[in-house]
Amino acid sequence: MTFPLASARSPRLVHVAETGSTNADLLADASAPHGAVLATLSQTAGRGRLDRRWVARPGRTVAVSVLLERGSVPVDALGWVPLLAGVAMRAAVASLVGADRVGLKWPNDVQVGGAKVCGVLAELRPGASAVVVGAGVNLTTPRDELPTDASTSLRLEGAEGDAESLADLVVAGWVSEVLAGFDALAAAGGDAVSSGLHARVAAECSTLGREVRVELPSGELLTGLAVAVDEGGRLVVRPPSGAERAVASGDVTHVRHG
């Protein structure tokens, strides 16, 4: 498979039959240029957020990573990359299943109808000269093979085509959006507000306006209303009592009532 649509969006796109981790491979490739992409329909040792293992049956999902040279973007602005990758994937998925059903769950899960179809993980190259951001998308996974009851796949949500054609469409749309968004962030000196990224995240984040439960890295549990994404990309939570808190990382659950 050559990923013809996606190949036109990247200076170097490599598709491999199988690999342990597309992120790890790109991080280790010192010759990879800005915008280099690695994709596979069989990833055997992928990782998600909080170092969780990500396993999927071969041929049902696509794992894809893109390398972004930091250039003039300040290191502290790279925290926006997972959110950029999330809204980029939301756009790619929305083109296949309809925008009204697709949302970004802070910080970087893409959901269709409230069920997870994609997760994103960004990792810095040693020395912070570049960041590699990867995404795993459920393409044709049937319901009985999904990792959780809160997951879904493009096929289950009505997307047409086999795994290879869906992968090409998803990768092409995602890579195009990521590179354009990162270019805009770089042109703005890493300022997510003036680049438009902050406004886009705030508009497309389905977590906002929801009651949430956040398990913080310390183990503390924070509950309340998600009211904003601040200028640093943090989720602002208003608890039932006390002051609002800005959360930089954590495991977020949308609380369902009824």
pLDDT, tens digit, 9 for 90 and up, residues 221-257: 999 999 999 999 999 999 999 899 999 998 999 998 6
Does the domain spanning 209-254 belong to CATH 3.20.20.80? no
- Looking at residue 48, its pLDDT comes to 54
What are φ and ψ of residue 63, in 5° steps? -110, 130
Listed by start position, the domains of the chain span 4-202, 209-254
The two three-digit tokens of residue 28, written as one number: 């280790």
pLDDT of residue 50: 47
- Categorize the per-residue pLDDT at 47 as very low, low, confident or very high, splitting at 50, 70 and 90: low
d(CA 91, CA 204): 10
Whole-number Å distance between alpha carbons of 26 and 96 = 27
pTM of structure: 0.93
Answer whether 80's CB lies under 8 Å from 185's CB.
yes
User: Does the domain spanning 4-202 belong to CATH 3.40.50.2300?
Assistant: no
* Residue 111 confidence (pLDDT): 97
Give the single-character DSSP code of 3. Answer: -
Mean pLDDT of 46-60: 63
pLDDT tens-digit series, residues 94-142: 999 999 999 999 998 999 999 999 999 999 999 999 999 999 999 999 9
What confidence tier does 54 reach under pLDDT thresholds 50, 70, 90?
A: low
pLDDT in tens, 182-227: 999 999 999 999 999 999 999 999 999 999 999 999 999 999 999 9
- DSSP for 143-202 reads GGGSSSTTB--TTTTT--S-HHHHHHHHHHHHHHHHHHHHHHHHHTTT-HHHHTHHHHHH
